[in-house]
Amino acid sequence: MSYFDAASAAPLHPVARQALQASLDEGWADPSRLYREGRRARLLLDAAREAAAEVVGCRPDELVFTSSGTRAVHSGISGALAGRRRVGRHLIVSAVEHSSVLHSADAHEADGGTVTQVAVDRMGAVPPQAYGAALRPDTALACLQSANHEVGTEQPVAAVAELCREAGVPLLVDAAQSLGWRPVEGEWSLLAASAHKWGGPSGVGLLVVRKGVRFAAQGPVDERESGRAAGFENLPGIVAAAASLRAVRAEAAQEAVRLRELTERIRARVAESVPDVEVVGDPVRRLPGIVTFSCLYVDGETLLHELDRAGFSVSSGSSCTSSTLTPSHVLRAMGVLSGGNVRVSLPSGTPAEDVDRFLEVLPGAVAAVREKLGAPTPATTTVREDTLVVDALGKRCPIPVIELAKVIGDVPVGGTVRVLSDDEAARLDIPAWCEMRGQEYVREEPAEKGTAYLIRRLT
């Protein structure tokens, strides 16, 4: 089985495994106690903090360990907002942030705060000037991920951090996906990350709050971790997380070159070997091991099952996966096709042979899914009407797009097709299909049931 989902959770690094096993014997005691076992545990905790701080590029007393990356994000956002409440209650986030950031934004808004969500371009990147335009006198905090978790696009953190610094607004960076590859550039104020993203154990996150940033921890607190992460420290996990972070960063430069070559191979071969596919995300400014593409006329969940049977573990941001009935917020914000979406995220050490085998299997897997769904194939059609109506009510993606593709050739150039759909994914997938196939997406209109999408044939 080839595991290609490192962006969700990277396999445990050998150094993490060794450190975890060793610290289970040495680091089981309470590091706040003064007896011998406690002092030994404290030494391990302090050493882990110093090692992690060195890799992050901060002071050890600015970094605390949390129970997860999500907890680090939630604590960082709530603490920074509370610390700057006198300034105002305005929060800025990008439209493609991790759900932990967006959930925090929702909670802030429900509590009476205001939120500005900055849009991204089709590559998934935020324009720095858009962050500058969003800054207000009452802005308490801005948040920006270092790189996107679904498409791998890197964000202009340094430029945004400079704009925030000039405005006197702290910037929180979610560095979960990128911290194992390199330090986060720019004068950021807060940083959150998660160990299982770089090959450390799950259940360990880190939160950095720079000196001088106003911060008021929310909820019940205790004396541990500077009062910013209550509860007994997971010392074996913390030691393993710090050791693996240092190890992966030592290997990062060389491994990044190798993984970039493999993802370039995937990007090129997928576009050549699979018809009607859109490779998404920035082709240059992206993380080394992530490549994402969307296939027309494909049910994402079925495609993932086909690839799983062929021996490949991949993930999807498709609206058709079993975990959600709505399109991925990242793909929706980018305005790209959401149906049939596949994210390949290669762990360090992935053999090139595994990638080549994946590229051999993928075209057949996509073709098999399309055949099951009755997707259109190139054929000569007879023009019958100037306007056609496609009733796709009650049908989930990608059926509305498949039905549209089947009949677009049945109207003359300049003719229109009206697609009726009550699936939220159609709002994203039909315009994306039009852009991919050179047709004109005219507009959407309210219908008696669902929504009507009007498409004009151009070619």
Specify the pLDDT at position 318: 54
**Cβ pair 336, 436 in contact under 8 A:** no
Q: For residue 203, give the nearest of 18, 348, 70, 14 by alpha carbon.
A: 70
CA–CA distance, 219 with 225 (Å, rounded to integer): 14
- Give the SS3 label for residue 429: helix
Mean model confidence pLDDT for the chain: 92
Residue 127 pLDDT greater than 90, yes or no: yes
Specify the pLDDT at position 38: 92
Q: Please spell the DSSP secondary structure of 390-403, one letter per residue.
A: EE-TT--TTHHHHH
pLDDT in tens, 254-277: 999 999 999 999 999 999 999 999
What is the band of 375 on the pLDDT scale with cuts at 50, 70, 90?
A: confident
DSSP H helices, 111-186, are: 128-134, 157-167
Question: Which of the pair, 446 or 147, is modelled with greater confidence?
Answer: 147
pLDDT in tens, 228-237: 888 889 999 9
Residue 388 CA neighbour count, 13 Å, CB half: 23
Is beta strand 63-66 parallel, antiparallel or unpaired with respect to 205-209? antiparallel
pLDDT in tens, 157-213: 999 999 999 999 999 999 999 999 999 999 999 999 999 999 999 999 999 999 999
| Stated pTM of the model | 0.86
- What positions carry a catalytic annotation? 320
CA–CA distance, 137 with 407 (Å, rounded to integer): 53
Residue 376 pLDDT greater than 80, yes or no: no
- Enter the DSSP assignment of 11: P
